[in-house]
Structure 1
């Protein structure tokens, strides 16, 4: 932890009769260091495009070496443009790895190699996920398994693989699980019972991982966005008539979010600025769940 200790003035030291608890000492962490990821290494799943890529870009601006894992066999043009910008103008750097989070063995191998580059791994943003909108009565067991394998099991195995390397190299740090406000509510206008259930499971998983890994110096929190304009959501709007209007009217700001509006929260959760925060769920939904 980067800390600067302010000297204690003689008048503030107290008498010889003061107990240690009564003796005051102030400590401050400089603001520019609180939110810095300089010199640290991170993994972002689902980082090939959309929300995950936007988060990854902000992490390179804050100084991090960021490794994006995505099931796209070749990097999306959006990723390549972002990578070029990051590597030219940002303090950190952006890297791509083709990987499906359902392949646990290759996942462990890849994350081990990433950590070995600099003998460290400082955290994770687990943003990989899929959405299927289907009436509950029409779901098949295969549909359920596919969504849960990516949104929950894949996320769990990714967090586990990252935590193993953090422990191996004795790197305390932060894991951010991208859940959703959909883990707290039923989304009006969209039937996605398995997606919503998977996000609820992620929120509960975050609490349990925080409990187990806290003494190892690893913090785990869930980020719960509201409705965001991503490629996945845009496709959903094409399939469900009137859904965009419904969602826009269901929050207190009367609009949808953009991916960029979650970058500040991402840096906060990963950095020293949130060093006493773990086992929490940060809801950023334009007031949707506050009605």
Structure 2
């Protein structure tokens, strides 16, 4: 395949306009709550029409509250929409992406944020649990990205894809006995580099985001099960605290907007300095 001739943008926007998403359409998997929902809300606040996919049959209170905030914000021209999709059901996911793109004659971006975690010693891990973890955390990301790229190419709207990885894909976290989870996130980091190379000729950018410890419902369950983990994780980074989902809204908007037009195949690490010791 012959790569396109490299060119620089011929028109330049004011800085504030680089982050505007008016008229653009996005999908966020794992967008029903937690980090996925918070990043979806950031895209809507910037003007995007955002479709949140999640495995729960109906939108939960967190999503409904975010949706109401977007609708009530007079400065926000974006919107949030919910659909039940299990990222392990590839035909369902493909059909949902196709419907969203057809309704709008475009698809501009994806945040692949669906993920699960299981804290368990490796010697106790079952094949069933390993397959479930990889099917969601790796397969769900891979096939969501492929579904998005397929629609971007079909509708000639090259866009941006962000894969949610983790700093856990780079290190062995103290106090987190979760070898399969960490391995799945390492695979996502590598996947992002390869998809960026493969889809660059189509004008599609692919990057990954590796957050540090975030207090989400999934992480809160870890603390409920093992209360000592919160203090342990907090003191393992340079800032001495854990993060909140809201601290990643700017990163999501940066990677999904024209503010990052020369960035692809990269990993953005936001971990409070955890991996920089």
TM-score (norm 1): 0.90
The Cα of 1:87 is off from its aligned counterpart by: 2.1
- Distance across 2 between alignment mates of 1:141 and 1:239: 23
SS at match of 2:265: coil
Mapped to 1, the partners of 2:144 and 2:81 lie a distance apart of 17
Distance across 1 between alignment mates of 2:72 and 2:23: 17
Partner of 1:196 in structure 2? 182
> Which runs of 5 or more structure 2 residues have no equivalent in the other structure?
1-8
Give the equivalent residue in structure 2 for 1:87. Answer: 71
1:276 counterpart SS class: coil
Structure 1 stretches lacking a partner, 5+ long:
1-24
Partner of 1:151: 137
Question: Deviations along 1:85-115, whole A, 9 cap, x unmatched?
Answer: 1123121010000010000001000100000
Question: What is the 5 A alignment of 1:26-175?
Answer: 28-89=12-73, 90-175=76-161
SS at match of 1:32: helix
- Partners of 2:138 and 2:148 lie apart in 1 by 15
What is the rounded CA distance, in whole Å, between the counterparts of 1:133 and 1:84 in structure 2? Answer: 35
Q: 1:27 to 1:110 in 2, by over 3 A?
A: closer
Number of residue equivalences: 267
Query: Is the counterpart of residue 242 in structure 1 residue 238 in structure 2?
Result: no
For 2:3, the equivalent position in structure 1 comes to none
Q: Report the equivalent of 1:259.
A: 245
- Which whole-Å deviations, capped at 9, do the CAs of 1:55-108 have from their partners, x for residues lacking one? 111110100000000001110011111111112312101000001000000100
Give deviations 1:113-157, integer Å, cap 9, x for gaps: 000111000010000000000001100111100000000011101
Cα distance in 1 between the residues matched to 2:236 and 2:28? 30
TM-score (normalised: structure 2): 0.95
Provide the secondary structure at the position in 1 that maps to 2:206.
strand
CA distance in 2, matches of 1:191, 1:173: 36
What secondary structure does 1:227 align onto?
coil
Report what 2:4 is aligned to.
Answer: none
Distance in structure 1 (CA, Å) of the matches to 2:139 and 2:10: 44
Q: What is the CA distance between 1:27 and its match in structure 2?
A: 5.9
What is the CA RMSD across the aligned residues, in angstroms?
1.2
Q: Which structure has the bigger radius of gyration?
A: 1
Pair 61,236 (structure 1): closer, same or farther in 2 beyond 3 Å: same
